[in-house]
Structures are given as C-alpha cells and as structure tokens.
A and B are shown apart, each in its own frame.
Chain A
Amino acid sequence: MAGVSGSVSTQMGMHTEPLTGRDIKTKFRLENEGGFAYHFARDVDFNRRAEIDCADIEPTEINRQIRELMDSGHGSIVLRNPGAKHSLIVGILNRMNIIVEGSLGYFGCGLLDGPNVRISGRVGWSFGENMMAGVCVVEKNAGSTFGAALRGGDLVCRGSVGSRTGIDQKGGTIIVGGDTGAFSGFMMQRGRIVVCGNAGKNLGDSMYDGTIYIGGGIQDLGVDAVPAELTDLDRAWLARKLAMYELLPAAGVDHFTKIVAGKQLWSYDNLEPTEKKLVL
C-alpha cells in the first residue's frame, strides 16, 4: 500500500519532476579526465604564494585579482588591509589557501567550494553563505546570518556571532567559540551547529532536521526544537571536531546540550530519497 506521503508527493509532482541545474551525474563522471572539478575551478599550486594589498582597491577588483592569481597557478593568496570591505573571496570553486590579515564586511566567502580560508579579524553579516566545501576560520567575532544556507564544509568563528546563525542550513558544520544570538538554526535542514557559549532566544525555531549542540545556556527553544540525549557518538564527534580547531573546552563536552527537530511541523523522514533530493 502506498503511504500517505507517497500519495501526497505524487500529487505534488515530485516523482515526475526532472532534476535540473548542476547535477552530480553530468558534472562528475568518473570516466572523464578531470571530471571532479568545476568548469571554473583552477589547477593551483599551494606552494605558489602571492599578496594583494586591498587598501585602495574596490571589492570587484580584489576578486578579479584573486582570479588572475589563481589563473596563473597561485594556490596561496594573502589579502592585506581588507578594511571590512564587502563581498570578498566569493565563488571560488577549487582547493587553495586564502589568508586574510584583517576583517571582512558583509557577504564574505560566499558560494565557496573547497578553499581553506583564515581570517585574523572579524566578519560581517552573511559570512560563508551557501558554502559547499572547504574550511573558513574567523579569529574574532562575526555578524548575523553566519553560515546562512551552508551546504558543506566547516565554518568556524572563535569569537561570538550575531543572530540567525545557520539559518536555512543544508549541511556542513558551524562552530562558534563564543555566544550566538536569537533564532540560531532557524529552519535548518541538515548539518550541525556547535556553540561553546550561550544561545539566544528561539534556538532551532522551525528546524526540519540537523543537530545543534550548545555548551552554555539556552535562552529558550523555538517551535519544534527539542532536547535530545547526547550519545557517545555525539561526544566523540564533538571532542574531535572542537579539538581540530583548538576550541575543545577544558571541561570536555559532557555539558553540551543537544537540540534536534521534533518533526511535528514537517518530517522529511516520510519522503522518498528522490523527493529528499528535491527539497534539500
């Protein structure tokens, strides 16, 4: 007997709707040489290092210079004097190292897939939005919507972050050394959020799935966010992940609270795998 969810999803056209856009089957064929890279990914050498002084350059020009350096094979790029400018280091689709000596403004490190980014200062709103893979580490604080719609990779802020951290998160891991603001994990669908400090109000509001770990206090939980038992697997994962970024508390991880979706509003567990692919 077809389940209720199957019937509803058929009526919604989910079974017959073709997948469009970038697809892993067409873009990552094993038989094609180099088939694991995007069209715009560069083959770079991590040992080739270059620097850009951003002091008197507009963001568009800085991003263009980064691409030129990647085109010429540079795999390690240092940005000096970024001056909290907006929209820097975006759309980089290959492995490489980027070191930022200073702070970024809004929408930094968006749409990344692969790079390893280290930022010595702070970052503004919407840092790491839609990142698919790679590692970004921020040494100071971050603004709101940190890791919005994150799909993969590790996004780390050693300081505190603003509100709506991990909103609409679809995968990957967000780690915060300090506190996070209101509505963190709002509508998150997959992935993990780890906060070593306190969380503001409405934590995990309307979350579909995913896991949130909070080391400090929680002002209150959002709709359909519920506490869950911290398992040995959780402890091991937390300890390993936090140690990787030197954020493992001296007291360990036993005091962390685990928050998951109650799945009373919506449960993806009732969907077929192809349907999940459409919605997640």
Chain B
Amino acid sequence: MCGIAGLIYRDGTRNIGGEMTAMLQALKHRGPDSTGFAVYGEPGPNEYIMRFKVAEQEDLGGGTRIHRAIAERKAAVDGVLDEIGVTVLDRDGPTEYANRYRIAFDGDLKALADQVEEIEGTEILSIGNALELIKDLGDAADVSGAYELGGFRGTHGIGHTRMATESDVDIRSAHPYWAYPYNDIAVVHNGQITNYWLMRRQLEREGQRFVSNCDSELLAVYTAVNLEKGMTLEDSLQRSIGEIDGVFTYLITTRNELGMAKDTMAAKPMVLYEADDMVALASEEVAIRAIVPHEIDTTDPYDEEVRVWQA
C-alpha cells in the first residue's frame, strides 16, 4: 500500500531531515521494504549535489568481486566527470555503493547524467542545486541513520515508505524518483498506474529514459516532460489526472514548490495539515502527529484535487 509524506516550510529552513525521518518512521507499517527521501537544502552558487549509486545493497552479498567492481565503477565515474569538465568540490560516501558529490558544472545536465549512467551498475539518483535524494532498503530510521539525514536543514521534502508489489525490492525501484535530467524535481507516489506501459512506450519513443519497471517512475518522467514544455507544476498535476489512468495520490517537489494530485476516485489516502508557517501531508495523520504532537485541524483532499505550495 506504501506511505507517502511531504513537508514544506514557508518561512525559512528547519531540520527537514529529522522531521521527514519521524514522519516516515510513523508510516513504516505501510511499507517496510525501502524508504526514500527527497530533501531540499539551501542551494549553493553554481553548484550541484549529485547523488548516485554504483551497486545495489543486495549485490554486496554476492562475493568479494563486487567490492572491486564498486571501486572500479567509482573510478570510472571520476574519469567521466573529469572528461566532461566537472569539478568535484567534495566527495562523500555514506555507504560503499552510494555516493554524494558536490560538483561545479555549467554544461548540459542530460549529457552529464547519460555519460555517468553508461558505466555498468551506475545510476544517478539525483542532480540538483538544492535537491538531495536518498533511498535505500530498510525503514526510515535505518536509512536516515546510514545517510546521516537526522540534522539536514532545508525548506521542504517528500518521502516514501515502500511496500513492493509489482517490481523488485531494490534501490532502483524505491521512491522518490528524480525527474531525470531536470534539476531539483522529485516524485513520490502511492497507488497503481494502469496505463503505465502504454505511456512509458510513448515516452520512450520520444527519447525519455526509464531505469526501473516501477510504475511510479512514469510520474517523474511525465512531469519532467511537461515542465520542459513550459507547463507550470500546477498545470502538469492537473493534466495528469486526465491522462494518467489508475489510482494514485502523488507528491512532487521542485526547488521551491511542493505539489499534490489525487486521482478521480480518491482511492488513495492523504491527510493535509496547513498552518501559517508550514504544510504537512501524509498518507496517515499519525505521520503528521510525529512532528506536530498537539491537537490540529486536518482535512482529506478530495478527488481530482490539485494543490501547490511555495517554500
């Protein structure tokens, strides 16, 4: 059934990493397979944060050769970055297979992403000025602890606890999805998209890339294409209700926005809390109560409802 949550502050930064961890841990029962975060910090001038992985967690149990392969893939990534003129300002490796690079680059992000992903076993999780996308197997506390998210300061974020139903239990199929190759856009989704293959083939014919067989990835690619065409986030969300078939409630973030859309049947839950300084959404109110313990007024958005909030 999966759990999704979103949080945005209207008046500056907070401990988004810690608060998203608390929200997602409260939703653990909705999806114990994997947990993911897309959090937005303060963007550095002319800098990107690139999060990428060079193996799956389960690969580590496959013998000693994988460790050598991981080292070789990292070296290959460094080589590619050097070739295309990327300056790596800072390297961090929260786990053996997951990496966080702070880079300076003024070229084409798609070319950068494509060349890095040509390296075997390598997948870019996100590239953004403000966005950092972290996802791995385990619950929110495990993932947040491993990636040291507990003190991450930022303005907004979304997250997902996954119960795998139609694709594998691995990082590739975990949410959130980065809207490749667009800077600072991420999606989480609860539901099932029934015209996934039809729309995926159509988008692939137009040159879009998919890395998983998870239907939720479609929403990220679909949104990215719409935004590329000049659509606003709200317009894209609105259009998706008519074009995406199935049951869904999804959240999408850009550098300074958090958006939500619900399908025509309102089949998937979402509880919304709006205060003067913040907006919190989650599949269940217990997640909101994890960061707002006092009594609050919450609402359920209706069918076909679209909302967008600014940071």
Q: Which residues of A contact B (CB under 8 A)?
A: 83-86, 102-103, 105-106, 120-122, 124-125, 140-144, 160-164, 181-183, 200-201
Are A105 and B302 interface neighbours, CB within 8 A? Answer: no
B303 lies within 8 A of A201 (CB): yes
Bound-state Cα–Cα, A182 to B289, Å: 27
Give chain A residues whose Cβ lies under 8 Å from the Cβ of B284. 84, 86, 105-106, 124
* CB-defined contacts of B266 to chain A, threshold 8 Å: 144, 162-164, 181-182
Interface of B is mostly: loop
Chain B residues with CB below 8 A from A141, complex form? 297-300
CB of A84 within 8 A of CB of B302, answer: no
- Could you name 7 residue pairs across A and B whose Cβ atoms are closer than 8 Å? A105-B284, A105-B286, A120-B295, A140-B298, A141-B297, A143-B300, A163-B303
Of chain B, the residue at the smallest CB distance from A178 is B299
- A122-B297, A124-B271, A182-B264 known, 16 other contacts, Cβ within 8 Å: A84-B285, A120-B295, A141-B297, A144-B269, A163-B265, A163-B300, A163-B302, A164-B266, A181-B266, A181-B300, A181-B302, A181-B303, A182-B265, A183-B265, A200-B303, A201-B303
A105 to B283, CA, bound (A): 11
**Shortest CB distance A164–B (Å):** 8
Min C-beta distance of A116 to chain B, whole Å: 22
Complex contact A182–B302 (CB within 8 A): yes
Query: Does B293 touch A at the CB level, under 8 Å?
Result: yes
Please indicate the chain B residues that have their CB under 8 angstroms from the CB of A161 in the complex: 300
- Compute how far the CA of A121 lies from the CA of B289 in the bound complex, rounded to whole angstroms: 13
Contact of B289 among A84, A142, A162, A201 (CB under 8 A): A84
Count, chain B residues at interface, CB 8 A: 18
Docked complex Cα distance between A190 and B117 (Å): 59
Closest Cβ of chain B to A79, distance in Å, is 13
Bound CA–CA A85/B300 (angstroms): 16
A124 touches B285 (CB 8 A): yes
Contact A160 B299 (CB under 8 A): yes
Bitwise interface map of B from 268 to 311 toward A, beta carbon under 8 Å scored 1, else 0: 01010000000000001110110001010111101100000000
Which residues of the partner chain B approach A85 to less than 8 Å between Cβ atoms? Answer: 286
A120 to B295, CA, bound (A): 10
CB contacts (< 8 Å) of A163 on chain B: these are 265-266, 300, 302-303
Contact present for B303 and A140 (CB under 8 Å):
no
Q: Which of B288, B297, B300 contacts A162 (CB 8 A)?
A: B300
Complex CA gap A181/B289 in Å reads: 24
Q: Which residues of B contact A200 (CB under 8 A)?
A: 302-303
Q: How far is the CB of A84 from chain B (nearest CB, A)?
A: 4
Question: How many Å lie between the Cα of A161 and that of B299 in the bound state?
Answer: 8
CA distance A16 to B280 in the complex (A): 56
Residue of A nearest to B301 (CB): A162
Query: Once bound together, how far apart are the Cα atoms of A125 and B286, in whole Å?
Result: 13
Query: Which residues between 109 and 150 of chain B lie within 8 Å of chain A, taking CB atoms?
Result: none
Cα distance A195–B217 in the bound complex, in angstroms: 39
A4 to B266, CA, bound (A): 40
Q: In the docked arrangement, what's the CA distance between A121 and B293, Å?
A: 13
The interface residues of chain B lying within 8 Å CB-to-CB of A103 are: 285, 295, 298
Q: Which residue of the partner chain B has the closest CB to A141?
A: B299
Residues of B within 8 A of A105 (CB): 284-286
Q: B285 to A144, Cβ gap below 8 A?
A: no
* Chain A residues closer than 8 Å to B286, beta-carbon distance: 83-86, 105
Q: Which residues of B contact A125 (CB under 8 A)?
A: 269
* CB pair A162 B298 closer than 8 Å: no
Q: Is the CB of A122 within 8 A of B298?
A: yes
Distance in Å: Cβ of A114 to nearest Cβ of chain B: 27
How distant is A170 from chain B, measured CB to nearest CB, in Å? 22
Contacts A125-B269, A181-B266, A182-B265: A83 and B289 contacting too (C-beta < 8 A)? yes
Contacts of B297 in A (CB 8 A): 122, 140-141
